[in-house]
Amino acid sequence: DETGHSFRIRPGTTWARRGLTPVLQRVSKRREVSSIVAITPDGRLYARHFRTSISSRCVIQALRSVRRQIGTPLLVVWDRLNAHRSRATTDFIAAHAQDYAVAYLPAYAPELNPEEQCNALVKRAMANALPGSVDDLHRLARREFGRLKRHPEMIVRFFRHAGLSVTDIP
C-alpha cells in the first residue's frame, strides 16, 4: 500500500507551557514524500520512499525491490489506486506472472487492509515533527518505518486487527 507525507498541519496533541499555544509552521501543503510499503503476515516490512506522488513507475520499482528482497513469488493484495490498475502496471504483472499474483481489496474497505494500520502508526509518530526540508521529511519517514520494522509482533497484530487469520507461519 502507499501513503504520503507532507508539511501539511495534521491534528495531533503536543505540549507547551501553560498559556503558550504552540505554533507549527509548514512550508508546503502538497505531498512531498510518498511511501510504498509491503508487509507480510509473519511481521516483515519493506518500504520504498519517493519524492513524488505514486505512479505506475514507482509501483513497478517497489514490486521489483520487494520481490528481490523476499526471493519468492508474491501474492500482492492491493486497494484500487489508479497506479495499481494502470496499463503499465498490469502489463508488468502479466509479463512476470510467475513472480506476482494480484488480488484486489473491495472498494472503500481500508479496514480490511492491515497496512493502513501501519501507515496510521507512522503518521501518528510524525504528527508533531517539524521537518525543515524535504530531505528532513524523507529521513523522518524512513526512520519511523524503520522503527516499526523492528517490531514484527505489531505488524502481525495489524493482520489480526483486519480480521485476517495468520496461520502456518514458521
Q: For 70-104, write each residue's pLDDT tens digit.
A: 999 998 988 888 999 999 999 999 999 999 999 88
DSSP label at 107? T
Distances (CA, A) of 134 to 30, 55, 57, 130: 11, 19, 21, 11
Distance CA 62, CA 32 (A): 18
Q: What is the pLDDT of residue 29?
A: 52
Distance CA 128, CA 123 (A): 9
Per-residue pLDDT of 12-55, as tens digits, reads: 556 677 777 666 555 555 568 899 999 988 899 999 999 888 89
Q: Which residue, among 165, 149, 159, 164, has the nearest Cα to 116 in the 3D structure?
A: 159
What the block records as the C-alpha cell of 98 is 510467475
Q: Which residue, among 37, 33, 63, has the nearest Cα to 48 in the 3D structure?
A: 37
Residue type, 163: G
| pLDDT exceeds 80 at position 167 | no
- pTM comes to 0.77
Which H or E run includes 36?
Answer: strand 31-39
Cβ atoms within 10 Å of 44's Cβ, excluding its own? 15
Cβ atoms within 10 Å of 83's Cβ, excluding its own? 18
DSSP label at 105? P
